[in-house]
């Protein structure tokens, strides 16, 4: 197994009397695709929210490449190389595809008033470089998306909106990408296309690690190398897809079998 990239140790999150994560121990290794499974309300998205510092842990630690990222802000975690998508679309539909993707690399943009008003040539060069970078990423992810660079995001089909959101998360070249139900709202064929895109871009870009939350079991079977299953905030199973679907606890909690 590769070097650990992300390690959760005794991770607990409470909201009043509700325990959303209960002493979770989970390791994500460099370069792998880990599937995070479980019924609704099992703590999957809460885990993503803690990793990205949208929520704070009540107890336990989150380590990224040996560094405790628990005390860091969401911006600092982002700069450490962790990006994500959300189950519900976070695109600004009136803006163009370029605008929606480019904001994913805001940490490298010079947003100062003096620079933008009085150094117009440098600003133009920066803008042109960003257009080229976004175009190349879209072309790598899905060639049909690149010609839509300056179209309104609101004019896109659902699958292209998902592609744009993932490209936005990839623009900063993260080492860890968290995907929260990327197939939500799409057909089976669209989901299959999107998974093709994800696997393709991962093979072509600098290696990065993926944790994916998915309810589509065929997606999990196809793209993950290892899975972890949560129920009521606890990890109840871990292993290959074949191992977790054969686990009686998983069948009861997730698949609804006795």
User: Which domains are delineated in the chain?
Assistant: 1-81+174-258 (3.40.50.300), 92-173 (no CATH)
Phi, psi of 110 (to 5 degrees): -90, 105
| Coil, helix or strand at residue 129 | helix
User: Over pLDDT 90: what percentage of the chain?
Assistant: 72
Answer yes or no: is pLDDT of 120 > 80: no
Q: What is the pLDDT of residue 251?
A: 87
CA distance 212 to 190: 17
Under the banding of pLDDT at 50, 70 and 90, the label for residue 174 is very high
Under the banding of pLDDT at 50, 70 and 90, the label for residue 117 is low
The dihedral built from the CA positions of residue 232, 68, 201 and 31, taken in this order, carries a sign that is: negative
The per-residue pLDDT for range 203-248, each reduced to its tens digit, is 888 779 999 999 888 899 999 999 999 999 999 999 999 999 899 9
Q: What is the pTM of this model?
A: 0.90
Answer yes or no: is pLDDT of 101 > 60: yes
Partnered with residue 231 across adjacent β-strands are: 234
The per-residue pLDDT for range 126-161, each reduced to its tens digit, is 778 889 999 999 999 999 999 999 999 999 999 999
Reading across the β-sheet that carries 59-64, which strands appear in turn? Answer: 18-29, 4-15, 59-64, 67-68
């Amino acid at each position: 197994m590769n070097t650990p990239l992300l390690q959760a140790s005794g991770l607990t999150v409470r909201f009043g009397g509700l325990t959303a994560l209960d002493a979770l121990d989970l390791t994500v290794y460099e370069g792998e695709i880990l599937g995070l499974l479980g019924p609704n309300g099992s703590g999957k998205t809460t885990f993503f929210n803690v990793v990205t510092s949208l929520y704070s842990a009540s107890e336990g630690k989150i380590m990224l490449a040996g560094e405790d990222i628990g005390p860091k802000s969401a911006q600092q975690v982002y700069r450490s190389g962790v990006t994500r998508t959300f189950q519900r679309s976070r695109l600004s539909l009136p803006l163009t595809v370029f605008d929606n993707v480019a904001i994913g690399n805001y940490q490298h943009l010079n947003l100062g008033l003096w620079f933008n008003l009085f150094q117009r040539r440098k600003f133009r060069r920066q803008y042109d470089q960003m257009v080229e970078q976004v175009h190349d990423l879209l072309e790598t992810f899905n060639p049909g998306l690149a010609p839509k660079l300056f179209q309104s995001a609101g004019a896109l089909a659902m699958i292209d909106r998902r592609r744009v959101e993932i490209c936005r998360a990839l623009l900063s070249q993260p080492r860890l990408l968290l995907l929260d139900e990327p197939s939500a709202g799409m057909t089976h064929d669209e989901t299959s296309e999107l998974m093709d895109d994800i696997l393709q871009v991962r093979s072509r870009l600098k290696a990065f690690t993926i944790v994916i939350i998915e309810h589509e079991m065929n997606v999990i079977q196809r793209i993950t190398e290892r899975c972890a299953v949560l129920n009521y905030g606890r990890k109840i199973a871990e292993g290959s897809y074949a191992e977790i679907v054969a686990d009686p606890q998983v069948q009861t909690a997730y698949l609804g079998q006795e």
